[in-house]
Structure 1
Amino acid sequence: MYRLSAIIALLLFEIVGSPYTAQAQQEDFNLALTANAQIDFPDTIPSQYKSYNDVWGWVHPDGTEYAIMGSGIGTSIFSLEDPSEPKLLITVPGALSNWRDMKSFQSYIYTVADEGRDGLLVIDMSAAPDSVTWSFWKPDLNIAGQSFKLFQCHNLYIDSTYAYLAGCDGPGGVYIFDLAADPISPPFVSASDPIYAHDVYVKNDKLYASNLSQGFSIVDISDITNPRTIAVQATTRNFTHNAWASDDGQFLFTTDERSGAYVDAYDVSNPDEILRLDIYRPLATEDLGVIPHNVHYYQGYLVTSYYTDGIKIIDAHQPDNLVEVASYDTYFFRDGTFGGVWGAYPYLPSGLVLASDRSTGLYVLQPTYQRAAYLEGIVRDSSDNSLLQGVSVEFESERPGSTSSDDQGRYSTGLADDGQQRVSFFKFGYHRKTIDIALQSDSTVMLEVALKPLQTFVVSGTVLDESTNGPIANAPILVQNGIYREDALSAEDGTFTVAVFEGQSIVAAGKWGYVHGFADIDLDQSISDVVIRLSNGYRDDFMFDYGWQVDNGSQGSLFQGWDRGEPGYAIYDAAFANPNGDIENDFGNLCYATGLAGNLSANISDSSILSSPIFDLSGYTDPFLHYFVWFYANGVNPPDDKLDIYLSNGNEEVLIESISDSRSEWRERSSIRIADFLVPTAQMSLRLLAEDEGNVHIYEAGLDGFAISEGLTTAYENKSTSTIKIFPNPFTHTLSVESTDTQVDRFYITDLLGRQLLRGPVTAGSTLDQLQVLRPGTYFLTLMKDRQVVGNLKVVKME
């Protein structure tokens, strides 16, 4: 059976539109803030160097711990004698550089910079805190037949004897110097193969070089004078930024400095047969393009710094099942950029973890190293016992924990909580299964699961013109069942056929020049008699693609102009830069917006044009144009950007609205009487120009709820301030209506699909007491006076 409805008022299509989320929420857990400290940058320093980079630690012979943090202007040393109040001891000045790396040896701290001509900065801490001295060592070297002076390096590592410098001037490779022989001017010992090494780590007699697009190299340094590459391995995103080995040297953990990349775990016990065991990325921001930067191994855990995502501690005691067990985020702007945490240091005797945020400096954190509780098993198809790949396995917990099954149906995951837990198993085309299970920290539960396939049925029907009862050809069709959506086009005779999974579904149809309509069906068998009638008119909530055109001119590939989709959040200067979703009460969850790919900074010094299809208003008496927009602009300079909206009748084009004030929310609905600007014709079109004018800024813009009406209508929810008040809301049985200056005489209650459920007389000051028949849920209350709508309000019925 099915029920037919025409969408005339503004609807919230809940089945199609999943609730959008606000800024990706991450709970800080098992990492507590002890202190945050910064330095004062001189006013004369260019702004791009007023930032921080890596962090390290050093311990004085008297037991006082120090934090060593790089910045754009030098190397800052903080005493942690009182960890809750780090005290800046000194900032050793150096060349202006966005990249610094620090390590320590005995009473010395060593720093390299990837800009300028510092060479190797050697800081003598033997008389600290009373006195700190330093020198810059810039040796003349000849490596691989190339003579040069050492001015720049990107990274270094120091073991008990040697300094290993990577990403330096010269032919490339890792340069090895003997600190035991001379800690101030260490003699050159040898170099690895002359390819670019971005980062270096050493464990026992193995050197691990991270070579970006060339993967990582394992170099045998048992003969330190003759480094010998014995293995090369690509990582999952082909941009190996750093690597750190387990204490026994059997496992290696890597980061790829790429958007959405992973921490990889490898078994390197046999360099001739390196095995990848697992991959990890933060679950709370898994789809937001966060970038891992540096991983460090500490007593079975990985302490990892993430741009925009803070510090993550991962339980790696089982390297084939990496589980997040602690998190602390320092950055509250947009994900997927190079802001936020740069480095981490977990090796202080006190157990404190140090972190460096590029904008907000040094963080001193108190960790709780918690063992994960593990869940492993296989998933099968209940109908034929076959193994299922790609099954999503997810805990229903505040702690992150999820995975998917491999090509053998196997899965492995875990949680930073033990006790009774609920876990769900889901695969496209199968019934979701939810299971309660008891987990125990540092233990593994084995669980085999079988999923039941969904049945597939055929939905067929016809799309008709409501006024002529004739067929409508090439009308877009969608059948939506929860997360499942199938699309089709009606044939020349208006018919359509769609195969879809079982369950409560919506069949919707639309076409430019009509108002979309839909049928609500309970699909437990194939259905062949669905009829959807569309009324003439113009309404576009962008769930269908009606052919709006985008012109980005000659902008580069990174530019993100107008696009049709579901907008996610964007944050600038610790505040939302867009509404984080389409308008609340329309058909579906899509709109046209800029920046849908997620790079807020892409919309700088550019413009983007969105143009509607032609619409015919020649048969209208007094047409009105309606739409919702947002426009946001911000940046270093005062905003001077704009969103200009133009209307054309085919003969001339006029500006009907220009928006320059910045707001990160959908604005009140614009209703434009077309005859005030142009003579309505059969060749009408709308054009929206969003652009960054004058000073350089970022901007975000959006359009939704396009509609044409005959005369002014209030079919959309009234978002302006109203003198009508209804209470309580939410309600259980009754609603009271009050108004100081607006008269009402009748009410209607409709559900979110536009179906009228209740109606009757009402006056201001009266109570609606017929509402107990309504089921709990969300409804629209329409109030009228003399057949005119005077209020349209959303109400919620509770249990």
Structure 2
Amino acid sequence: MKSFYPLLLLFFIFNLAFSQTPCENGFAGEYPCHGYDLLSNVPVSVLANGLGNPEGSDIWGWVDPLDGKEYAIVAMTNSTAFVDVTDPVNPIFLGRLDTATSTSYWRDVKVYNNHAFIVADNVGNHGMQVFDLTRLRNVGALPITFTADAHYTEFGSAHNIVINESTGYAYIVGTSRNGPFSGGPAFIDISTPTNPVNAGGYPDEGYSHDAQVVTYNGPDTEHAGKEIYIGSNESEVLILDVTDKNNVIKLAEISYSQLGYTHQGWFTDDHRYFILGDETDELSYGFNTRTLVFDLYDLDNPVLSSTYDGPTTAIDHNGYVLGNLFFLANYRAGLRVLDISNIAAPTDAMVEIGHFDTHPESNSTAFNGAWSVYPYLPSGNIIISDIERGLFVIKSNTLSTEDVQPIKSVAFAPNPATYQTKITSNKQAITSVEVYNTLGKRIFSVNNINQKEYVLPVKQFAKGLYLVNINNTFTKKLIVK
């Protein structure tokens, strides 16, 4: 079996090389888009190493503090996959960590102190797997089937894991309703990642499906510096002060009209607003994607500030805030990117400014397509997990078929090109040609040409978009197909 791995990897990388595709006329290849270009796609079958018939679920990212390399951590039904996306056009599948028990459609992962923490729902005594991400630096022959560095089993299944990185506590949500915390959050001290310590839990308000926990730095000065838990609890939003794990204080609960299933939400960066998604209201009431914004100026008395209606009937799933942008995994409608710079307004508080639809078949109301998104990589690249299609790496406004600057005196023919393109200058001689990929890496150069025509061989280039610099002065864009 080991002899098969290098062949699989070579096949995989070769096919990924054809993935970078600019968003032109509303499409990046087969994928509807606006403002976001496809850098690469890693299929589900590759992420699962060709085993079984898996699906994708959660996603998170990790940046190696030693060298700045970027990684996608993709949760699958049968495993957790690790992908080096430092070169987003040519990502490298490094290997996977198999499930601790059986397959699960709900596997979630978060990162703290260079370790991944993984839980799974409805799979018996899965507990929490802990994996040292620094092991990805030198993995040897690819791909690897990894083993966990620690396995915490003081709970069985769980729907999700939340980590407050500033305190070193993990909050396990969606545990067994018949367990010690009645489905409410379990608290675990992970300050030493491979030695998790039980720190109790909170059973008083029942099942908590998802949550965010922050060290509060918002406008309500009464709670400044406190550890605030905001949970999406199926039929309400629950706000807790969990600073003292032995004395949890309930601050508020939030309900709203036309409630389906209170699923997941995220604070704005200033901790003033909370953006909430209800997973089944589109199914139950027949309206378009609905996102609710709550004003938490007073944590003890939250109020509904505004409601955003999306352009499709697709179901909203996981959403995350980065500055003035809200990145929403919208199932069959793919990723939707909303400008929230006007979030205080009662109307038009959120405005869609871009999208990348990973499920081109339809935008209807069903559970397919984009499960989650991670927009926090320093490169600005965005990683998306799609249930059927695996990992997508996209980026805003990087690719185009327009020239960087007009060059009327220089022409390429053909462009797009397959085997070669002739560069022709009707004025000065061509002295040098350099070719760069979209990451700014030079992949080809030639000097001392001194002719008005030069045939550039492109057959050896991967399909995609390139920048061609002529005479260190002009740059044109070339598509290789």
Once the two structures are TM-superposed, the CA of residue 135 in structure 1 deviates from its matched residue by 4.0
TM-score, normalising length: structure 1 = 0.40
Q: Distance in 1 between matches of 2:245 and 2:309?
A: 36
Hey, what does 1:134 align to over in structure 2? 148
Q: Distance in 1 between matches of 2:194 and 2:115?
A: 9
Specify which of 287, 311, 318 is matched with residue 294 of structure 1.
318
Q: Distance in 2 between matches of 1:87 and 1:236?
A: 46
Hey, what does 2:294 align to over in structure 1? 266
Hey, what does 1:362 align to over in structure 2? 391
TM alignment of 1:646-725, pairs within 5 A:
none
Q: Is the 8 A contact 2:183 2:203 kept in 1?
A: yes
Hey, what does 1:52 align to over in structure 2? 56
Once the two structures are TM-superposed, the CA of residue 193 in structure 1 deviates from its matched residue by 3.7
Higher helix share goes to which structure?
2
Specify which of 282, 291, 295 is matched with residue 310 of structure 2.
282
Aligned residues: 327
Hey, what does 2:474 align to over in structure 1? none
Q: Distance in 2 between matches of 1:367 and 1:174?
A: 36
Hey, what does 1:255 align to over in structure 2? 277
Once the two structures are TM-superposed, the CA of residue 27 in structure 1 deviates from its matched residue by 5.4
Hey, what does 2:107 align to over in structure 1? 100
The secondary structure found in structure 2 opposite 1:78 is strand
1:229 and 2:250 correspond: yes
Specify which of 192, 195, 209 is matched with residue 198 of structure 1.
209
Once the two structures are TM-superposed, the CA of residue 330 in structure 1 deviates from its matched residue by 0.9
Specify which of 370, 373, 376 is matched with residue 347 of structure 1.
376
Q: Is the 8 A contact 2:329 2:371 kept in 1?
A: yes
Specify which of 308, 321, 327 is matched with residue 355 of structure 2.
327
5+ unaligned residues in a row in structure 2: which ranges? Answer: 1-29, 140-145, 216-226, 283-287, 399-481
Hey, what does 2:126 align to over in structure 1? 118
1:307 and 2:331 correspond: yes
1:530-580 deviation line (CA, Å, top 9, x unaligned): xxxxxxxxxxxxxxxxxxxxxxxxxxxxxxxxxxxxxxxxxxxxxxxxxxx
Once the two structures are TM-superposed, the CA of residue 54 in structure 1 deviates from its matched residue by 0.9
Deviates more, 1:169-178 or 1:67-76: 169-178
Once the two structures are TM-superposed, the CA of residue 241 in structure 1 deviates from its matched residue by 0.4
Q: Distance in 2 between matches of 1:328 and 1:104?
A: 25
1:570-591 deviation line (CA, Å, top 9, x unaligned): xxxxxxxxxxxxxxxxxxxxxx
Once the two structures are TM-superposed, the CA of residue 113 in structure 1 deviates from its matched residue by 0.5
Q: Distance in 2 between matches of 1:99 and 1:326?
A: 28
1:349-374 deviation line (CA, Å, top 9, x unaligned): 111111111000001110359xxxxx
Q: Is the 8 A contact 1:207 1:221 kept in 2?
A: yes
Matched AA of 1:254: L
Hey, what does 1:68 align to over in structure 2? 73
The secondary structure found in structure 1 opposite 2:337 is strand
The secondary structure found in structure 1 opposite 2:137 is coil
1:217 and 2:246 correspond: no
Q: Is the 8 A contact 1:125 1:133 kept in 2?
A: no
Q: Distance in 2 between matches of 1:233 and 1:37?
A: 39
Q: Distance in 1 between matches of 2:49 and 2:381?
A: 30
Q: Is the 8 A contact 1:124 1:133 kept in 2?
A: no
1:77 and 2:88 correspond: no
1:30 and 2:30 correspond: no
TM-score, normalising length: structure 2 = 0.65
Q: Distance in 2 between matches of 1:360 and 1:297?
A: 24
Matched AA of 2:360: F
Q: Which has the higher contact order (CA 8 A, sep 6+)?
A: 2
TM alignment of 1:490-569, pairs within 5 A:
none
- Residues 1:118 and 1:135: Cα distance change in structure 2 (over 3 Å): farther
Once the two structures are TM-superposed, the CA of residue 130 in structure 1 deviates from its matched residue by 1.7
Q: Is the 8 A contact 1:237 1:262 kept in 2?
A: no
The secondary structure found in structure 2 opposite 1:134 is coil
The secondary structure found in structure 2 opposite 1:293 is coil
RMSD over aligned CA atoms reads 2.1
Q: Distance in 2 between matches of 1:267 and 1:368?
A: 32
Matched AA of 1:65: E
Q: Distance in 1 between matches of 2:31 and 2:120?
A: 33
TM alignment of 1:378-777, pairs within 5 A:
none
- Residues 1:90 and 1:315: Cα distance change in structure 2 (over 3 Å): same
1:630-654 deviation line (CA, Å, top 9, x unaligned): xxxxxxxxxxxxxxxxxxxxxxxxx
5+ unaligned residues in a row in structure 1: which ranges? Answer: 1-24, 141-149, 370-799
Q: Distance in 1 between matches of 2:158 and 2:232?
A: 14
Once the two structures are TM-superposed, the CA of residue 43 in structure 1 deviates from its matched residue by 7.1
Matched AA of 1:103: K
Higher strand share goes to which structure?
1
Q: Is the 8 A contact 2:152 2:196 kept in 1?
A: no
Q: Distance in 2 between matches of 1:209 and 1:333?
A: 33
Hey, what does 1:748 align to over in structure 2? none
1:312-339 deviation line (CA, Å, top 9, x unaligned): 1111122131111111101022411100
Matched AA of 1:298: L
Hey, what does 2:91 align to over in structure 1? 86
Hey, what does 1:508 align to over in structure 2? none
- Residues 1:224 and 1:184: Cα distance change in structure 2 (over 3 Å): same
Once the two structures are TM-superposed, the CA of residue 266 in structure 1 deviates from its matched residue by 0.8
